Amino acid sequence: MGSQKFDTGLSLAQRTLIRRALVAHLGTAPTGRGTPLLATAGGYLAAIGELPRPMRSGSEEELALLGQALQGVVSPALAVALGDQEFSAVGMGGETYVGELELAVYAVSGNMLSFVAGRLEPDALADTDPTADPGIDTMLEHVHELLSGRDLDIPTVQQLRPRSEREVATDPEISIWELRFVLGVDASIDPQRAVSPVKRGLDVNGTPENHP
């Protein structure tokens, strides 16, 4: 349990729980081979990192953030980031809202064989070795399979819905593609949280106190 309290009744802020759940699920859920994505569990991924925000342009600054998130590991890897969230009120009471949160998963390959055969598609090694870098096409499809329709086992979070894929960066050193999702997040507000449960004006016998 965390040291803070929230109206959701959850132990941590929803963003924190979602980010951690994404990394955990991508690292432990089995693919079609029956093994998780991480190489330490029999898969091909060298690392799954956490970015402070979604990437926008593939700038040098963003590539530096990605390098920090992956702790120097370049390929093959995934990185996750939570983005903007928009809220809509539910009902007229002003106490219940639903948010639509954007999140991004980045597939990263530094395969030096070719920008296509190796970076995007499996090369000859990956065709025979399921633990080798399979290329970004395979990584994106595995992420789609693992996350689409998932609710991350968080009570206030709805199912993930895929939204878009796009290229972020392609240069001699690295290729990065992004898969974006959205998910609904319940955000109920408890206006009574600060109201003291202690009833005042009663003595120990339960009768009104006399005040001058």
Going by pLDDT thresholds of 50, 70 and 90, the confidence category of residue 187 is: confident
Q: Which residues, listed in sequence order, are joined to residue 176 by a DSSP beta bridge?
A: 108, 169
Q: Is residue 1 part of a domain?
A: no
Going by pLDDT thresholds of 50, 70 and 90, the confidence category of residue 87 is: confident
Q: Is residue 204 part of a domain?
A: no
Q: How many domains does the chain have?
A: 1
Question: What pLDDT does 45 receive?
Answer: 96
Q: Is residue 212 part of a domain?
A: no
Q: Report whether 92 contacts 41 (CB < 8 A).
A: no
Cβ neighbours of 71 (radius 10 Å): 10
Q: Is residue 8 part of a domain?
A: no
């995934």: which residue's tokens?
Answer: 78
Q: Is residue 125 part of a domain?
A: yes
User: CA dist 86 to 52, 97, 99, 121, 195, Å?
Assistant: 18, 10, 5, 36, 29
Q: Report whether 52 contacts 65 (CB < 8 A).
A: yes
Question: What pLDDT does 71 receive?
Answer: 86
Could you tell me the two tokens for 102?
């954007």
Asked if residue 208 has pLDDT above 70, the reply is no
Q: Is residue 117 part of a domain?
A: yes
Q: Is residue 54 part of a domain?
A: yes
Going by pLDDT thresholds of 50, 70 and 90, the confidence category of residue 199 is: very low
Q: Is residue 202 part of a domain?
A: no
CATH number of the domain to which 160 belongs: 3.30.2000.10
Going by pLDDT thresholds of 50, 70 and 90, the confidence category of residue 195 is: low
| Mean pLDDT lowest among 29-33, 93-97, 140-144, 179-183 | 93-97
Domain range for residue 130?
14-188
The predicted-structure confidence for 164-173, as pLDDT tens digits, reads as follows 999 999 999 9
